[in-house]
Amino acid sequence: MAMSKPPILFIHGFPFDHAMWRNQVAALSEWECLVPDLQGAGFAPAPPSPDAYSMAVYARDLIELLDERRVESTVVCGLSMGGYVAFELLRQIPQRVRAMVLCNTKSAADAPEGKRGRDALAEKARSAGAGAVADELVPKALSPRTLAQDQNVVRDVRAMIERQQVAGIVGALHALRERPDSTPLLAGIRVPVLVVAGSDDQITPAAGMREMAHAISGAQFTLIQDAGHLSPLEQPAAVNAALRGFLKKLV
């Protein structure tokens, strides 16, 4: 049956799952929020071989979901790795992407040093488990303000990383290190785009996101104060206000 509300597809980052969007889903009751777990994340099955993971595979699974739900076209909102998957959807099914929200993400592929970092983190996940991955990523992913003053968010993010399956973490790291450069896509984007950056994002710094927004015709740029890499969880009210402002122009 066709959906009665307009759809928005939320794509989580690494190493997170659908729960990272809970504040947006709660706020956008007039939208049909599709909030899947990517392969190997959350409750989704995790194939053991890292070669089974790529941005193309993640996108393929999402296209299957859109087909099953009979979604002809949708707003796509991706955070970080979710943004890389959103670019892949733009490559594979441009006619079904109605608008894009690019949160805390970038278009460039990994440089050689970044790839070495992926390999080291995969090794750590294999030898020491998801808890060790959380130890490394939580301080990088959250803003100084969140780390000092918002222990609920710190605990939630840590718990979300700790519950991820090691095979899914290692597979995602393979997909991340092998992902293509999406920068050549930017100049050709013809749908409305909102770019959401965090003032204290160490992983995808705001300056690079502003440049990315400039490279997309007509893109809107919003800087979220006191947010690190997880702005939808760290500053949900500000992110929801930006999302609402953007989405209301689409309906």
Contact positions toward ligand MLT, by CB under 6 A? 13-14, 80-81, 176, 203, 229
- Least gap, CB of 90 to ligand MLT (angstroms): 17
Spatial distance between the Cα atoms of 62 and 45, rounded to a whole number of angstroms:
14
Compare residues 71 and 121 and give the one whose CB is closer to ligand MLT.
121
Rank residues 81 and 125 by Cβ distance to ligand MLT and give the closer one: 81
User: Given the complex with ligand MLT, which of 71 and 124 has the nearer CB atom?
Assistant: 124
Q: How far is the CB of 184 from ligand MLT (least distance, A)?
A: 18
The C-alpha atoms of residue 167 and residue 122 are separated, in whole angstroms, by: 9
Which of 126-146 are b and which e, b meaning 16 or more Cβ less than 10 Å from the residue's Cβ?
eeeebebbbebbbeebbbebb
Q: 14 or 221, CB closer to ligand MLT?
A: 14
Bridge partners (DSSP) listed for residue 194: 101, 220
Amino acid symbol at 231: S
| CB nearer ligand MLT, residue 7 or residue 78 | 78
* Residue at 233: amino acid letter: L
Residue 18 Cβ vs ligand MLT, minimum distance, rounded to whole Å: 14
Minimum distance of ligand MLT from residue 49's CB (angstroms): 21
Q: How far is the CB of 29 from ligand MLT (least distance, A)?
A: 26
3-state secondary structure 134-197: HHHHHHHHCCHHHHHHCHHHHHHHHHHHHCCCHHHHHHHHHHHHCCCCCHHHHCCCCCCEEEEE
Q: Smallest gap, in angstroms, from Cβ of residue 168 to ligand MLT? A: 13
DSSP 8-state class, residue 111: -
Closest distance to ligand MLT from the beta carbon of 190 (Å) = 26
Which residue's CB is nearer to ligand MLT, number 147 or number 203?
203
**Closest residue by Cα to residue 98 from 71, 64, 58:** 71
Which residues are 8's β-sheet partners? 33, 75
Phi and psi at 192, nearest 5°, equal: -60, 140
Whether residue 146 contacts residue 226, with contact meaning beta carbons closer than 8 Å, is answered with yes
**Closer of 7 and 232 to ligand MLT (Cβ):** 232
